[in-house]
Structure 1
Amino acid sequence: GDLTLTCTGDLSRNRQVGLRLGRGENLENITRSLGMVAEGVKTTAAVHALALRLGIDAPITAAMHCVLYEGQPPHEALRTLMSRDLREE
């Protein structure tokens, strides 16, 4: 239920961040105006750092890190993810 609400509920802070990023707003303005923590933002940074430190390939986390912290437009991150070579995972 928690995952479903995060993905579909209008009160989900994580969803609001994603929708606003998709509209072209920058993360700093979004987080400032929310006034509350969207835990996925900081969790992405922590998981990305951990994956790098452990040498784990985490393409979705890497893509989200690029969008959140490196200013990559969401459509470019999606294109990068979808153009990865197929492999057993």
Structure 2
Amino acid sequence: MKFRRWCRNCNCEQEVAPIMGYEDSWRKLFWLLEFLRTEETIAEATFDEYMEHLMFFGKLAFDADDEIEKRLKEEEVSDND
């Protein structure tokens, strides 16, 4: 599945890979924000609003990573018992 976005320089339409194609969380977040920017959701956002969205999604990603690590450690401890 491919998604479309518009080039900032010449406004041509481009295909971009889905989120699963990226390995690191920050790239996923930047990709998501770029995709949302092409939609009407935050298309007219100022730089500050754009960064606010980035920080929000970044915090969600870090919170999710922490929760996953916590659960894995709990499972590891329960497996050792």
Shared fold, TM over 0.5: no
Pair member with larger Rg: 2
Higher share in helix = 1
TM-score normalised by the chain length of structure 2? 0.38
Higher share in strand = 2
